[in-house]
Chain A
């Protein structure tokens, strides 16, 4: 399985991950090695096999719908890197 720099850069964009030039180079080789191993699942005949969606059969895991206090705003904002007007502050998307 070969994976090129363009693909690595495309996937990094999807993953919202900045990569340095060195990281792109390293990632290209490392991902190819792992993908070669992963490709072995292509050898199996899986015709008609249902995919596992959950390992233990559970249906409709419901809980009682009881109102309870939410986290106070000040508590929720305590760990934020930047806050403004009672909310999370972020740089403008358009800037």
Chain B
């Protein structure tokens, strides 16, 4: 059956549409692979194929869904003990849309608890292992979705990205991941981390798959999410084979200091390839990008401390046993139910919002956010896309950064600026680099950042690069 594994999701959809492949056979093939998962990528796998139309654009190609998307009657814990046993009474809009377009739910994927983390080690279900090297992390927080796609356990998947949680694991696992414009995809039914930043997007084997999946995620504004938008036009499936006339800007702030030499080498080789394909590549500047991470680690924890106030042991999930009064029931439930990183961010956010500190932290961070958006707006007057390495590091060893929160946060250094500006960004695999100190070469991601609603053009440019590169991740899908 290795023939099925070789098909990309788009190719499988086309085969089903032509009547050459049976959607139920494809579902069973992936269901069995997902059930045999050795990377802890899945938290739940479907028992049988749900009834899904295979005449839609996604043609019945099964979908892996990050645990934090609410799925009716199916466990949805956002990787947290505090939602132990929770099966929501409703389904997230984007999962409903994808099912209606013909992508049945294959399983739920592991993640960092409430999407807080860059290594998928902060999960009540235990860490996910990188399919390229089981001693290393897959990145996070959508690490299960990335590992499932990279390991050939799912044809494609969806995840969420708050500060890099789609792009960074995509980079570390050698696949494509796209964070759309804020508001492009409904957040209804996504268990919230930081509402002004959270955005769902595709994780896929190649750019064409990412474009096809994204095309069914966006659309008309969702009346149940007041921040969702009518997407202008449709996502175009990519076809371009060169980069003639495409202007790429390389920000010095995000492409030098703090980035592993191996990653930088592959990044620079990719810029050279882009030039050969006809792109112009020039330095640009994002003067406030160096402060993006600091602003992000005020804003995201502040929003999380507010969003996670709802987990109190009253309506769903875990409740600490034996509390005799209401307040100790709350405080002990939250003590037992949340993991260390979630507690840290709740504390950080509560501190930043507390009386006397609000202006110095939250107020200032919201102003830094404005400056970062202005930096990008200025760059897009001269450039079509800003490009950077996606992650400053290749996949690191399990446990390597757990003891130092700040070292972990620095993984988001290149991805956070686009999140703060609400603009689309994606990562494509562009090569392999040895980790510091040597060892088996590991995937390197290349990030493209574009203006709001530039997804189709960005996917087109990424496709041209992908075709010229010929990155091959098939070795880890066996």
* Residues in A lying within 8 Å of B, measured CB to CB: 3, 7-8, 10-12, 14-20, 23, 27, 30-31, 33-35, 37-42, 44, 46, 49-56, 58, 61, 63-64, 71, 75-76, 78-82, 88, 90-95
Contacts and interface: CB of A to CB of B under 8 A. Distances in A.
Interface string B32-76: 000000000000000000000000000000000000000000000
Contacts of B324: 91, 95
24 contacts: A11-B351, A16-B327, A17-B347, A23-B340, A30-B344, A31-B348, A31-B351, A37-B406, A38-B298, A49-B367, A49-B370, A52-B366, A52-B370, A52-B420, A53-B366, A54-B227, A55-B423, A56-B181, A56-B229, A56-B452, A76-B89, A80-B316, A93-B327, A95-B324
A86 to B, nearest CB: 14
Nearest to B314: A88
Given A37-B297, A52-B366, A71-B89, A15 B347 contact: yes
B4 to A, nearest CB: 37
A23 B183 contact: no
A58 to B, nearest CB: 7
A56 B319 contact: no
Interface of B: 85-90, 181-183, 196, 221, 223-224, 226-227, 229, 288, 291, 293-295, 297-298, 305, 309, 312-319, 323-332, 334-335, 338, 340, 343-344, 346-348, 350-352, 354, 360-361, 363-371, 373, 404-406, 409, 420-423, 452
B313 A81 contact: yes
Given A33-B404, A46-B371, A90-B326, 12 more contacts: A3-B351, A11-B350, A16-B331, A18-B331, A31-B348, A40-B294, A46-B364, A52-B366, A58-B183, A79-B88, A90-B329, A95-B326
A4 to B, nearest CB: 12
Contacts of A54: 196, 227
A30 B319 CA distance: 27
Contacts of A46: 364, 367-368, 371
Contact of A37 (B293, B328, B351): B293
Listed residue (A10, A14, A17) with the most chain B CB atoms within 10 angstroms of its CB: A17
A71 B72 CA distance: 13
A68 B158 CA distance: 29
B224 to A, nearest CB: 8
A75 B348 CA distance: 35
Q: Is the interface of A mostly helix, strand, loop or mixed?
A: loop
Contacts of B227: 54, 58, 61
Nearest to A17: B334
A15 B331 CA distance: 8
Nearest to A15: B350
A79 B315 contact: yes
B369 A51 contact: yes
A80 B314 contact: yes
A3 B315 CA distance: 34
Given A34-B405, A91-B324, A81 B318 contact: yes
B230 to A, nearest CB: 10
Contacts of B294: 37-41
A79 B317 contact: yes
Contacts of B86: 79
A18 B332 CA distance: 6
Given A31-B344, A41-B295, A95 B183 contact: no
A64 B297 contact: no
Listed residue (B90, B314, B338) with the most chain A CB atoms within 10 angstroms of its CB: B314
Nearest to B197: A55
B330 A16 contact: yes
Closest 7 CB pairs of A and B: A55-B422, A51-B366, A63-B223, A81-B319, A79-B316, A18-B335, A18-B331
A46 B348 CA distance: 23
Given A31-B347, A44-B371, A78 B223 contact: no
A49 B370 CA distance: 7
B344 A55 contact: no
